[in-house]
Amino acid sequence: MSSQPLLTLGLGSEHHVLYQYNLVNAKNHYLALIQTESPYFQPVPAPPTPFTPSFAFHDPTFPDGLDSSWAFLVTRSSNILVFGGGLYSFFQNFEQTCLDTASCQSQVVNIDSFSTVSIYSLSTVATTFQLSVNQAGVINQSGNVNGFASTVTVWSRH
């Protein structure tokens, strides 16, 4: 959480059980060229196992059907700009057969309805919904296939 402006460039966060990036009550953040990978072992066990989510740390919840960590979460935040993101899911239970159907993970990005966010050039691999609002998928990767990845050019919520 930071209400102060933040500029990041080229951050990577990988294999965390609950989430890779979690912005809560953030303001005026610019994140360029972020990268994530979901844990290879999920969904066995599915998150939050082996952890107990903490209200104090604003840990996320996991809707039915979401059995992998969130890559990027934004909650009650304003003026968030993501310029270039590669959010990847390559495995299910250490197997890569899910790559054949681009279904290693059901959702990867979640923005709540209170936040203002702009995302430019979001690429995902093997995730059914590239972007969700309030944990409901709104951008299906099937309409954005661009070689190995699926890419959303621009999405904004103001």
33-62 pLDDT, tens digit per residue, is: 999 999 999 999 999 999 999 999 999 988
Residue 1 pLDDT exceeds 60: no
Token pair in block for residue 75: 């909650």
What is the reported pLDDT for 11? 86
Measured CA to CA in angstroms, residue 55 lies from 60, 74, 122 at distances of: 9, 15, 29
Q: What is the pLDDT of residues 59-86, one digit of tens each?
A: 998 878 889 999 999 999 999 999 999 9
Mean pLDDT of the chain: 94
Side-chain-facing half-sphere of 107: CA atoms under 13 Å: 24
Give the model's pLDDT for residue 2. Answer: 65
Contacts of 57 (CB under 8 A, 6+ apart): none
Tokens of 7: 């500029």
**Global confidence as pTM:** 0.94
Average pLDDT score over residue span 17-32: 96
Cα(115)–Cα(77) distance, integer angstroms: 5
- For the ranges 2-6, 94-98, 109-113, the lowest mean pLDDT is seen at 2-6
Nearest to 121 by CA among 96, 154, 145, 88: 154
From CA 116, how far away is CA 60, in angstroms rounded?
A: 19
pLDDT tens profile 122-153: 999 999 999 999 999 999 999 999 999 999 99
Pairwise CA distance, residues 90 & 92, whole Å: 7
Terminal-to-terminal C-alpha distance of the chain: 20
Collapsing DSSP states into helix, strand and coil, what is residue 69? coil
What are the chain's domains? 6-52+65-157 (2.160.20.10)
